[in-house]
Structure 1
Amino acid sequence: MSEDADGARRRETAAQAVDPCVTSSMVVAAFWEEASGAGIDPQAGYEAVLDQVQAVREGALAGPEAMLAGQAIALNAIFAEMARRGQAALGRPGIAAERYLRLAIRAQAQCRATLRALSDMANRPTKEVEAPRPITRIERIIVQPRGHDGPSGMRTGEAGPADDWAARNAEREDYGEGLDGGAARGLCADDAGAPGVGAFDRTPYG
């Protein structure tokens, strides 16, 4: 076998190992054979699981609803049986009664959670509306100018053009408040009329 064919076979095996439809069908087949004594063809089991997944993708949730309803019924049966065994073990030595009753309570709680999930699925909204993304404080500072009127005549709360940040930064530079060193440039400029605290006196000593 060539290296290309061997690599393709390894990739195919890895893809099957991480495919949820493949792994689910294997688990179903193993438990079904143990319970009924009849085996399931791997390809047929895979296609059955894939059909269920495709139906859910298309919005048909009859299968999952039936699954949850069946699980709730089974859990209720487990609760009743464990409660019966716990009651029968009451008054006897050991902790069998406590263990049975604990299992009954756990089955009851899981049954209630399953019914809640079934109710949520039945009452799901017809169309999910995506909530708007909250505006961060930094975005609010950048987009909304301070005061009633912005530097370009905008009212507070109105989004400015894409280059509005650069325009406001340029105006701050005129007062020595720019973010790119405007204040430092005003302090160190040779021009006596430069903004800031004025130019340095560079008269030589002596």
Structure 2
Amino acid sequence: MPGPLGRGAPVEASGGLWITFEGGDGSGKTTQAGLLQEWLENAGRTVVRTREPGGTAVGRSIREIVLHHKASGDGADGADIGARAEALLFAADRAHHVDALVRPALERGEVVIQDRYLDSSVAYQGTGRVLDPDEIRELSLWATEGALPSLTVLLDIDAASARARLDADDKPFDRLESQQDAFHTRVREAFLALAEAEPERFVVVDATLPPEEIAARVRARVAALIG
């Protein structure tokens, strides 16, 4: 039986296409997802924009827990979320999200553009939280019946540059954004390792390039997929 990186397969359905954006906090995923959506819609494709966690009503409830829960200091019931509990919550959202939103859209022949998928869990909960990355990946593959996107765009940026962007936004940090640079450096290294292991699925783009140059590189890869 193949190892963890050999499991899972792109979801194939009626002309649909599933594209995920990955990268550290502050890498520009939302901007690039929006530019790709605009380009595809101008080309006549129906696009579904979504994210993890939070792409469904169930997901929005889970997102509030995993990204914004704060320990109250009132004893055990007020404790912060543990690393394993965090990983399980992300996997629960993922199972529902793929079943309720992603697969139906692909079966209708639509393009799904998604902010984060299982690679984020491998990088953040597996490597960032110092759990077993292979176990985290296997958990997500089990939750989604092995579903993988056709293309994953990794926007690569170092921790210091990403932190400067987040600081400039002047918004409160969530539980993951507020982690120290060492955490985010581990996350970046994990993303790059994932991309190296699956070059047929990933395209890696320097997130410090001008946004339109990044968008052009992404469009070129997507154009090759849709012919």
Q: TM-score, normalising length from structure 2?
A: 0.21
Q: Which has the higher contact order (CA 8 A, sep 6+)?
A: 2
Name whichever structure is richer in helix by fraction: 1
Name whichever structure is richer in strand by fraction: 2
